[in-house]
A and B are shown apart, each in its own frame.
Chain A
């Protein structure tokens, strides 16, 4: 024991109580339940685990979840950056209104978003018909899944990039211009590199969220085996057949992917913080 450890008391009250409760509640609601996935996966014989995880149908679902999340995140990078830019830098009527509605995908229940997109782009409604005349089919296709995920991921990009654009110092731009740079050069060489870490953080967030997304996707996806089944749906259908082991196995891999994303995100955020210090 440290000879003076008696002196190491906390000045403000309530540390023990608040810390104790935090750890207890975190364990009860999050850590213990999450560990069941690991525990029940360990309980499965390796061959059965591999069979469950590497069946062609499951593999196709992982591929679909990752690729559609990826394309949606890329689209969100553009749309989100554009929106953050115009909402922050330009003054136009309705700007505050639009700004508030950036959060709609957060606020709107995913199931509602799901049935909206499914109906909007079904062959029965006008937008769907117009798009199919141009050869674009969204209902029951991976493209439709991407559309739903674009909606879900959009606010993450905007809300991450927006504050950084707002804090851009006008002097930097003025300095660049006084040195003879054109507006486009200033943007490309000065502003964009400065905003890039934030953009990457936002895109990673959108991507991570999209991998596990369920409610907004299943309606427009049509859930055709090998074609439009996403990974969370595979878990769902295994559960419906009371195949708990299979569900755990599929979930275990998905969880692993999410944790890897979390680590990547951590790295990106640390880089972002460094960039803006």
Chain B
């Protein structure tokens, strides 16, 4: 089931939550809406589900305009951030709810409902808890029941609002992988909202980065990570060093402008902007090779499988963070206070209107 979001705008008193958003989701895709909190991503999800109305624009599900359809007729599965399980119904009745409220003519027989619910509970590995109440389950278990409940009505699309945000780190990771596998099995077109870049990178087929009600970039995880479209995306995805940088005669120059460059600045030959480089793209060596910057190691930290170096270099007003493998670290025999040469060749500068 494909989804087409056309020119959706939504204003709340005082701010614009969504500003002319358009997006197409292909059948069977798993899409992540990624952005900081308050960027409008949840509002977009709720508009697709019919839980909110857009001021302008339309939502097309499989070539059918559903913009003005009430939420109960949209046949969209929605998984809420805090699960929203029915607290007075047990797990079985929660999952069966969508089937039992169907009009008599469409409602499956009791036995069919039973079979379908138990099948779904098995799918989410919760069949053992059919008679339990939501309050007796852990967060991860509740989330799985919520998912089963949403899937019970054979939704055309599945929408998940920050599905893992209320869980602790370990459960979150487990459930993430499990959800990816589940999606590969059942292939229902899904959109999930998250502010966690790792989650989006690991889980989604495609990532849509949203900020302040606008789409900043969309693409596969690799595209948005390796080729961020702008400084916001660069900042938001992954760790990054940010420097003052400028482009001079088509070449990137980093650090504070030198006095003699100031004049050129006025002559518009130099453009200033921000330069970005990921810590693992920084080269460290003990031998000078022309293009690099001398620096001093201020701190060495062990971060799991990697080593993080904090470097100081003349011309840079903020410390530079670099990540190197343990192997490199051992080979170079680095220690605190030592002078090294830093290569920043992979840095990218955004000057507002163009980039290098």
Contact = CB atoms under 8 A, between A and B. Distances in A.
A4 B55 contact: yes
Contact of A11 (B51, B55, B68): B51
Task: Identify whether the interface residues of A are mostly helix, strand, loop, or mixed.
Answer: loop
Contacts of A9: 53
A7 interface: yes
Interface string A1-14: 00010011101000
Contacts of B77: none
Nearest to A4: B55
B126 interface: no
Contacts of A7: 53-55, 68
B71 A4 contact: no
Nearest to A11: B51
B56 interface: yes
In the complex, which of the residues B51, B53, B71 has the most CB atoms of chain A within 10 Å of its own CB atom? B53
A7 B50 CA distance: 11
A11 B71 contact: yes
- Which of under 10, 10 to 19, 20 to 34, or 35 or more describes the interface residues of B? under 10
A11 B55 CA distance: 14
A4 B67 CA distance: 13
Interface in B251-302: none
A16 to B, nearest CB: 14
B50 A4 contact: no
Contacts of B71: 11
- Which of under 10, 10 to 19, 20 to 34, or 35 or more describes the interface residues of A? under 10
B160 to A, nearest CB: 19
A4 B56 CA distance: 7
B338 interface: no
Interface in B19-41: none
B56 A11 contact: no
Nearest to A7: B53
A146 to B, nearest CB: 47
Interface in A1-50: 4, 7-9, 11
A40 B174 CA distance: 73
Contacts of B55: 4, 7
A8 B52 CA distance: 9
A4 B54 CA distance: 9
Interface in B163-220: none
B34 to A, nearest CB: 25
A11 B50 contact: yes
Nearest to B54: A7
Contacts of B52: 11
A11 B52 CA distance: 7
A7 B47 CA distance: 12
Interface string B212-231: 00000000000000000000
Interface in B36-76: 50-56, 68, 71
A9 to B, nearest CB: 6
A4 B58 CA distance: 13
A7 B55 CA distance: 7
A9 B53 CA distance: 7
Contacts of B53: 7-9, 11
Nearest to B71: A11
Contacts of B50: 11
A11 B68 CA distance: 11
A9 B70 CA distance: 9
B44 to A, nearest CB: 15
Contacts of B56: 4
Nearest to B52: A11
B178 to A, nearest CB: 31
A11 B47 CA distance: 11
B67 to A, nearest CB: 8
B13 to A, nearest CB: 13
In the complex, which of the residues B51, B54, B55, B71 has the most CB atoms of chain A within 10 Å of its own CB atom? B55
A11 B50 CA distance: 8
Contacts of A4: 55-56
Contacts of B51: 11
A9 B54 CA distance: 10
B69 to A, nearest CB: 11
A141 to B, nearest CB: 55
A255 to B, nearest CB: 36
A157 to B, nearest CB: 34
Nearest to A10: B53
B19 to A, nearest CB: 15
Interface in B67-111: 68, 71
Contacts of B54: 7
A7 B51 CA distance: 12
10 closest pairs, A vs B, by CB? A7-B53, A4-B55, A11-B51, A11-B71, A9-B53, A7-B55, A4-B56, A8-B53, A7-B54, A11-B52
13 contacts: A4-B55, A4-B56, A7-B53, A7-B54, A7-B55, A7-B68, A8-B53, A9-B53, A11-B50, A11-B51, A11-B52, A11-B53, A11-B71
Given A7-B68, A11-B50, 7 more contacts: A4-B55, A4-B56, A7-B55, A8-B53, A9-B53, A11-B52, A11-B53
